[in-house]
Structure 1
Amino acid sequence: MPLFLHRNSFNAGEFSPMLDGRTDIPKFGMGCRRLKNFLPRVYGGVFRRPGTAYMGSLPGPGRLIDFNVSGTMQYVLEFSDLLLRIREDGDLVTDSMDATVELGSPYAASELFEVQVKQVNGVAYFTHPAHPVQRLTRYVDAATETVSWSWEVVKWSYPPMREENSSATTVRASAKTGENVILHFTETVNDIEQTKDVFLDSENIDDYIGSYIEITHRRKDALQKLNLEPDEEENNDVHSESITVIGDYTVTTYGTWIGKLIVEVLDSAKSWQEVRVFESAANDPRNISYKATSQTNAEYRLRFIHESHSGNPNAVLEVEDTRYSGLAIITKMLKDGEVPLKDRCEVEVIKDFAYGAEIAEGPTPEDPDPQFSTPYFRLGAWGKATGYPRAISFHEQRLVFGGTEAQPNTVWMSGTNDFENFRYGAYDSDPLAFTLAADEASPIQSLLSHVALLIFTQTEEWAVLTSEQTPITPANLFVRRQSRIGTTQRPALLALDAILLLERGARKVRRFGYGNEGGVSEELTVLAEHLTRSGIRQMAFQQQPDPILWCVTEDGALIAMTIDPSQNVSGWSRHETEGSFESVAVVYGDSGLADEVYFVVKRTIEEVDQYYLERLDPLWLQKLEDDNQETLVYSDSAVVYELGSPQTVFTGLDHLEGETVAILANGEYRGTAEVDSGQITLPASNYTGVVTECENVVIGLPYESVLQPTKFELETPGGTAQGRTFQTERVTLNVWKTLGIEVADGPDEEFYEAAYHDPELSLGTPTPPPSLFTGLVEEQIDGAHRENIDVTVRQTQPFPVAILSIIPKFETHGN
């Protein structure tokens, strides 16, 4: 007796062959043995992936990075060997002279996938463990609305520094300010001063060139005093000497004075500006005790406009920090002949030192005044000798970096809303740094801003929490280990409300959760482990129209996971083309209906490797819903022609020279043709047998889409149907907006094409091409006796396929 089964969901995606017998898995009946160039949808059915449009070529291997300014303004950054170009809507961005914007990049092609980037508005920061932090800025001229771009190494307003020296080593400078200032490091042992090597992080001491160094001295004077009793012969407008202030300071007055006392600060233009004015009148004399904070390093002074006084009044400006720090950048490492010296260097002073004295030349210079030496110094945290951060994020209005070669599990956080300031302090908005108290020195691989700051290392996952969910401050910081999984350097990302990370080894994608009690995770590749065996190179998330995680693997494959945790959906699919996928990026779409998915695709054209930028048709779903059959893109590296007048010869196909292409002309499949001299001539219509001119034509590389569900399970009075033989007689497909579909008894059997034309008309009768079909399609199959129902659906024509369910009619045999 014939039996019927209804398979109405395929959104568990392609299953690993290792699960072929696991009919007990809840999602087994929603999985597929093969799901090639189909995308599972959250609703249960599968849709053929749209084709890709050719957008241009790259000079060589490259990587794409999204740059979303807003929901309606987006760019794609195209990196190749030592080069950055910018694309808008697929086109290369040009400058005011209509020349392509090409920015020099420090990243070689082999380094591109180790680059991490975070963006805030029109500014993006880039990190790589072997290069200084870079900044890309998009400028808009308010008057002309023209856009320009800049790419540069970040010049920190104050750089991140390492821990302050805690040994007996001291340093002294040959001068307080200027260039070519020599720093010398010594240590006194048994009252004998000896040179002391400090540049020990790298065998090549020249690696320290470009690094920062901070030198701190105790202040001789932490206050400035102003006599409020000016000489009668002098101007009644007087001021104190200036003092450098960073942090808290106080102003206090004593005695009886009449007039105005003004606190002033020196601005960047070297002009004194009022900070606060205090007045004391003859009918209401007063004294003041004022406390304030300077968030930046600045010069302050007191100014007094005198009217009268009695006694000996005065005012005192006093800083609470009794230390003063200067900053320099190393410009040269010194040598004794050919022998590198690790105890001295030459610097350019950026912020004046408190003291400096001439240092005699020679390996053991003598300082005429030992008070100029100080044990308080620290080297810059980042540089060629120590490495640069490999991870980056923004969190709570701070720019956050993590992990260098010298400090693999240290995190640096900028000042609040002061992204390029890393001068540590004790105030809530001050920059801070901390090192994970981990069992191992596993390097930080990536950072992610969520409710907490999440830190992913090579072997563990951590969360930076605060008490009562208050902001992170230097005094309010709790770092807790969440789990011990380990990740790659590919950044974790947020997909809807799911945190997705790539596990160490680059083969497993996990959904990660965290809390005060530790983290939990779910492996999302466990049902499709065979798709990631070469390792995942890059991930990008598309939200509209369906939530899909796109992944490029190390062997050039493209795989995708449809994911919606609220619907318990996570289904993988594989996607193939005539070539290999090298990179992927997703930006917001102009229509708002679909995000735009871009790829770098490597194709071999006339025996030469070419690298193309291609984009999935972002309007594929809208076209289907509007029955716009004439411009459907279901071929790869395609060119879409929408002409004002019809024609038969189509040019502009040089990128596909010598390739066999599929042709969709005015909605009809015209077969294939070979590109010759960058052009093709339309073949005759399959319905009229006549070559007709067309105005809406899509030409690109054909690709095959295949769907084969997992084995069908059937409970019988005798138990499972596994182990019996099956014979399929008919297959009914519930389809939506579909054309050109083929069905077979198995993947290696003969395929039968569904007939969508009016069966009462012969193919020789002039009729319009068949329209997209929605409904039930039945195909009779002369099925063989098989171990299971191996029904396979295929599409090779440049048309869409959407399969909502499959209903096989079959018989079983055997005990």
Structure 2
Amino acid sequence: MSLANPIICSFNAGELSSSLYGRVDLQKYFNGCKTLKNFIPLPHGPAQRRAGTRYINEVFGREQVINGDFVSDTGWTQGTGWTIADGVATATAGAKSALCRSSDCIEGREYLVTYTIDSVTAGSVQAYLGGTLLTARSTAGTFTERATFGGDDDCVGFLKADDFAGVIGDFSVMEVNPPAVLISFEFSTVQAYILEFTEKQIRFYKDGGIILDGDDPYTLETPYLEDDLTSLHTTQSADVLYIAHPDYAPRKLLRYGHTDWELTTITFLGSPVKNITGADKTDPVKVYCPQHNFENEDQIAIWDVAGMYEINGFHIVTGRTDDSFKLRGVDGEHFHAYTGGGKTWKIRRPITGATQANPVVITLPNHGFANGDRIRITGVGGMTEINDKNFTVANRTEDTFELQGIDGTGYTAYTIGGYAGIWSELFEEEDHYPSSVEFFEERLIWAATNEKPQTIFGSKVGDYENMGAGPNDDDAFIYTIAAKGVNPIQWIVPMDKLLLGTRGGEWVMRSSGADEPITPSNVNIKRESTWGSANVQALLVNDVVLFLQRGRSKIRELVYNFEKDGYVAPDLTILSEHITTGGIQRIAYQQEPYSFLWAVRKDGVLLNMVYERSQNVVGWSRQVTDGKVKDVAVITSSGDDEVWLLVERTINGSPRLYMERSEDQYLDSYLTWSGGGPVAITGITNASQAVVTAPGNYCDNGDHVRIVNVEGMTEVNECVFTVSDKSGDTFKIKDSDGNYVNSSDFGTYTSGGTAEVVSIDFSGVEHLAGESIHLLGDGCVLPAVTVSATGTFSLSAYVGELVAGLQFDSVLQPMNIEAGAQAGTAQGKIKRVHELTIRLKDTKACWVKAADDTWQEIAFRGDEDPADAPIPAFTGDKRVCVYPGSFGTEGDITLMVKEPYPATIVALLPKLKTMDVL
């Protein structure tokens, strides 16, 4: 038997795989842990307890009721006795009947139903949700209920009793726990937002809260459905966020102010379709169309004009300017006024024939098309099957061409008319929308349409929405990766080169010259590795790219290797392959105060990877909460980066989706309350109604205040009073029976003392209704309480500061000790740890697991520390003897923190005996 006193001085290899339990030949073994839960390894070695999360807001889906404010009766089916007028729905007594409208609600999902009954004359009414009837109401008021959509039909509305007579003012239905994703929007460290995308809606967060428009969250409508959200790729330039998705035309989100955002479809220069912005009732009609690029005598088609619908059709351009043109021979003086919209497109001469053949042959004299051109046909009479579709020109002659691959033998015979025009494939139709977007060398780069999944599209230099290709070096370009099989691009990341991740490998795109930019004629692309990527945006971290491999279980580091003179992509999960079990769904990167990768696992566990490449530090840990993390996003701030989370929690048996932010308390989904802190007292009168003077106090009548440390009038110390007759810096105090405090016989106030607003009853915690919550009051741990159904709870004593939330425990267990063997390894040999010294930093709580599986609490409150004062943070060594008779082959050490306190484990110094006889 030999004695050993090793030091475990670092935990920054993180939680290691069980496959490494015997790998004492690796240095990482001695820096790793068997368990690292709710601790985060820091780059320089210690393990720090993770911060908790502050509750921000519950996430709801978009409004399901169109015209729920009853400004018109459009869309509503009004049963007997119901009428809609003047912004209300009025019911008169009579037959039992319904007021309803169709919705997009989904059977089996839960919805939040809110409505206001302005008045009730008689009877009752019930909200209706796809066959589910909510509580009958017979009084005026605003009512909110959660209910499951029944699915008997797609309707929402109200069902009134036959005797109900009353007025309903508004009606709202929003989905509870909708699918959602988070996207960061960063203009600067003081202008950074979190965007919450749900189906067809964005909500906005800033400065730790949701942005409101009046009393309601500010929202913006989008076209994206719930299944589209995780496939959104974005990039940003100043106040513009560009958005790519393979099923939608590219869009941009523009910020004009906190409550002034706009989402628009991008109209690219170089695209054949132009947007009309106005039209004058003149002879000839003048049409306003910025950057139309038409010439006089061009033949154009116009459609979708509202108001002046008479100009929808085919015309000849005359009187052109850069932003307008006139319609030759069209007198618009008696047309309807233009009200909005409209698109226009340059076409060729009219079609004069189309054959019912395989392939279809089009006759269009002097068409000027070349084989391979993409064209669009519209306006054909008879053979309408070819209208409003795109085709490829083949076997052209001067006056005819074939529609490549189009069998028209079963089509209707051509009769008359029709037009054909060159049609750019660039992002103008289904299957031609890009799925990735990024900036590179002053170009906006798009990539990977369904039709061309391996193609990169670069804008004109410095002109991000100009995709007009050409021979000049600054013109837009299109380049397709020549790869075996279909190999869709999954992400693009700009560095000094353009890095591309495809389903089958990783590529580098650059110019042929070392210091030259990419141009239409100077492009070189090379495959660097063949790991393949998942459809998750990769992250640029200094001079490397972190990406999720195709199987979603490995994070790889794409980094330049000088020996290879190319890129390599080592696996950053190789020592912790268990950590990603089930697959990773979302990732985000935090730079300050430490370099962290955050990853959301499919089962809702949040993973953290400390990443300090220059120090060879990579360490994973699991961050577990009472719920499932659905997404994570990071935004910069003037200090540390902000980590935002979407968390699904089960509250009272039902799922809820919450927006939460990692902050510096040690409870989850917590809220705080503060009375404002102590205010200095300068005087208290001896009177039948004592008057307290406390300049700058912020209490109100009815508040409770605790007075302490008064000199002279000591009778008021450590007492709680009710504020009354507040006037400027003075107020009177009442006792618990509501009587004014008579201080006539008290000692005379001489100096000192403070008054602090305190409370014992709390509300506003509806998001944790029915849950047992843990409390930190005035810096001390208080007994747990259960929140009422209405979000209230009470304490047994008054406090001036309170943190209330869900408890989580943090557990650290290092690898089996490898020390003390006189010969060979200590692995497998019986050991006895009889003493443990724990080196700590800024720690207020810690438990050590003893040999009998019980937990021993380490004392942090000294004999000189008041029992009712907060525990002071401790930095130094704590010596623990908890292992009498604890013999075993592993020599396990396990630490836990469960109180809402900070803890940082710097090092472990066990004393043990190792037996060389097994």
TM-score under structure 2 length normalisation:
0.64
Contact 2:425/2:432 (8 A) holds in 1: no
2:622 corresponds to which residue?
574
1:725 corresponds to which residue?
830
Q: Does 1:530 align with 2:578?
A: yes
Return closer, same or farther for 1:270/1:793 CA change in 2, 3 Å cut-off. Answer: same
Q: State the Cα deviation string for residues 331-375 of structure 1 (Å, max 9, x = none).
A: 9797958xx624x4389xxxxxxx999xxx97346889xxx989x
Distance in 2 between residues matched to 1:573 and 1:439, nearest whole Å: 38
Return closer, same or farther for 1:458/1:760 CA change in 2, 3 Å cut-off. Answer: same
SS of equivalent residue, structure 1 residue 405: coil
Aligned AA (2:462): N
2:435 corresponds to which residue?
390
1:754 corresponds to which residue?
858
Q: Does 1:345 align with 2:457?
A: no
Return closer, same or farther for 1:477/1:682 CA change in 2, 3 Å cut-off. Answer: same
1:158 corresponds to which residue?
270
Q: Quick one: higher RCO (CA 8 Å, sep 6+), 1 or 2?
A: 1
Determine what percentage of the aligned residue pairs are the same residue.
31
Q: How many Å apart are 1:423 and its aligned residue?
A: 1.1
Return closer, same or farther for 1:707/1:547 CA change in 2, 3 Å cut-off. Answer: same
Return closer, same or farther for 1:438/1:82 CA change in 2, 3 Å cut-off. Answer: same
Return closer, same or farther for 1:575/1:766 CA change in 2, 3 Å cut-off. Answer: closer
Match of 2:869 among 755, 768, 776: 768
Aligned AA (2:577): E
SS of equivalent residue, structure 2 residue 576: helix
Match of 2:187 among 69, 76, 79: 69
Contact 2:819/2:914 (8 A) holds in 1: no
Distance in 2 between residues matched to 1:562 and 1:157, nearest whole Å: 44
2:849 corresponds to which residue?
744
Q: How many Å apart are 1:19 and its aligned residue?
A: 1.3
2:878 corresponds to which residue?
777
Aligned AA (1:799): Y
Q: State the Cα deviation string for residues 369-409 of structure 1 (Å, max 9, x = none).
A: xxx989xx454243554242111111111111111111110
Contact 1:334/1:345 (8 A) holds in 2: no
1:415 corresponds to which residue?
460
Contact 2:821/2:915 (8 A) holds in 1: no
Q: Does 1:615 align with 2:661?
A: yes
Q: Which runs of 5+ in 2 are unaligned?
A: 61-177, 274-296, 305-316, 327-344, 347-367, 391-397, 401-410, 677-756
Distance in 2 between residues matched to 1:367 and 1:603, nearest whole Å: 62
Contact 2:231/2:536 (8 A) holds in 1: yes
Q: Does 1:58 align with 2:59?
A: yes
Return closer, same or farther for 1:703/1:21 CA change in 2, 3 Å cut-off. Answer: same
SS of equivalent residue, structure 1 residue 462: strand
Distance in 2 between residues matched to 1:479 and 1:538, nearest whole Å: 28
Distance in 2 between residues matched to 1:379 and 1:679, nearest whole Å: 58
Q: State the Cα deviation string for residues 556-599 of structure 1 (Å, max 9, x = none).
A: 1110101010111110000111100000000012xx32100000
Contact 1:160/1:423 (8 A) holds in 2: no
Match of 2:589 among 531, 536, 541: 541
1:675 corresponds to which residue?
787
2:413 corresponds to which residue?
363
Q: How many Å apart are 1:514 and its aligned residue?
A: 4.0
Aligned AA (2:669): S
1:41 corresponds to which residue?
42
Contact 2:218/2:259 (8 A) holds in 1: no
* Bigger shift: residues 663-672 or 463-472: 463-472
1:268 corresponds to which residue?
323
SS of equivalent residue, structure 2 residue 388: strand
Aligned AA (2:234): V
Q: State the Cα deviation string for residues 769-800 of structure 1 (Å, max 9, x = none).
A: 32111111111113521112210000111001
SS of equivalent residue, structure 2 residue 229: helix
Distance in 2 between residues matched to 1:483 and 1:333, nearest whole Å: 50
Q: How many Å apart are 1:681 and its aligned residue?
A: 4.6
Q: How many Å apart are 1:101 and its aligned residue?
A: 2.0
Contact 2:41/2:610 (8 A) holds in 1: yes
Q: Does 1:119 align with 2:236?
A: yes
Distance in 1 between residues matched to 2:420 and 2:659, nearest whole Å: 59
Q: State the Cα deviation string for residues 67-102 of structure 1 (Å, max 9, x = none).
A: 01112210000011221111112322234x565321
Match of 1:794 among 880, 896, 899: 896
* Bigger shift: residues 427-436 or 805-814: 805-814
Return closer, same or farther for 1:551/1:333 CA change in 2, 3 Å cut-off. Answer: farther
2:698 corresponds to which residue?
none
Return closer, same or farther for 1:651/1:330 CA change in 2, 3 Å cut-off. Answer: farther
Contact 1:481/1:518 (8 A) holds in 2: no
Return closer, same or farther for 1:50/1:744 CA change in 2, 3 Å cut-off. Answer: same
Q: Does 1:811 align with 2:913?
A: yes
Aligned AA (2:247): A
Distance in 2 between residues matched to 1:117 and 1:387, nearest whole Å: 17
Contact 1:664/1:699 (8 A) holds in 2: yes
Return closer, same or farther for 1:356/1:78 CA change in 2, 3 Å cut-off. Answer: farther
Contact 2:378/2:420 (8 A) holds in 1: no
Return closer, same or farther for 1:331/1:93 CA change in 2, 3 Å cut-off. Answer: farther
SS of equivalent residue, structure 2 residue 593: coil
1:446 corresponds to which residue?
491
2:221 corresponds to which residue?
104
Distance in 2 between residues matched to 1:812 and 1:434, nearest whole Å: 66
Return closer, same or farther for 1:160/1:30 CA change in 2, 3 Å cut-off. Answer: farther
Aligned AA (2:226): A
Distance in 2 between residues matched to 1:778 and 1:18, nearest whole Å: 32
Contact 2:786/2:793 (8 A) holds in 1: no
TM-score under structure 1 length normalisation:
0.72
Q: Does 1:92 align with 2:210?
A: yes
Q: Does 1:28 align with 2:29?
A: yes
Q: Which runs of 5+ in 1 are unaligned?
A: 141-145, 162-173, 182-240, 244-264, 272-296, 299-321, 348-354, 621-632, 685-690
1:198-597 alignment runs, 5 A limit: 266-268=321-323, 341-342=385-386, 344-345=387-388, 363-364=413-414, 377-382=422-427, 385-466=430-511, 467-514=513-560, 517-589=565-637, 592-597=638-643
Contact 1:160/1:381 (8 A) holds in 2: no
Distance in 2 between residues matched to 1:382 and 1:476, nearest whole Å: 24
> What RMSD over aligned residues (CA atoms) do the two structures have, in Å?
3.3
Q: How many Å apart are 1:718 and its aligned residue?
A: 1.3
1:655 corresponds to which residue?
767
Q: State the Cα deviation string for residues 498-548 of structure 1 (Å, max 9, x = none).
A: 310111101100110247943212110011111112111110001111111
Contact 1:496/1:543 (8 A) holds in 2: no
Contact 1:128/1:390 (8 A) holds in 2: yes
Q: How many Å apart are 1:52 and its aligned residue?
A: 0.2
Distance in 2 between residues matched to 1:404 and 1:323, nearest whole Å: 25
Contact 1:649/1:679 (8 A) holds in 2: no
Q: How many Å apart are 1:554 and its aligned residue?
A: 1.3
Contact 1:725/1:813 (8 A) holds in 2: yes
Distance in 2 between residues matched to 1:114 and 1:334, nearest whole Å: 38
SS of equivalent residue, structure 1 residue 42: coil
2:675 corresponds to which residue?
643
Contact 1:706/1:795 (8 A) holds in 2: yes
Aligned AA (1:604): T
Distance in 2 between residues matched to 1:517 and 1:334, nearest whole Å: 58
Distance in 1 between residues matched to 2:435 and 2:881, nearest whole Å: 59
Q: State the Cα deviation string for residues 730-757 of structure 1 (Å, max 9, x = none).
A: 11110011112101146x8111100112
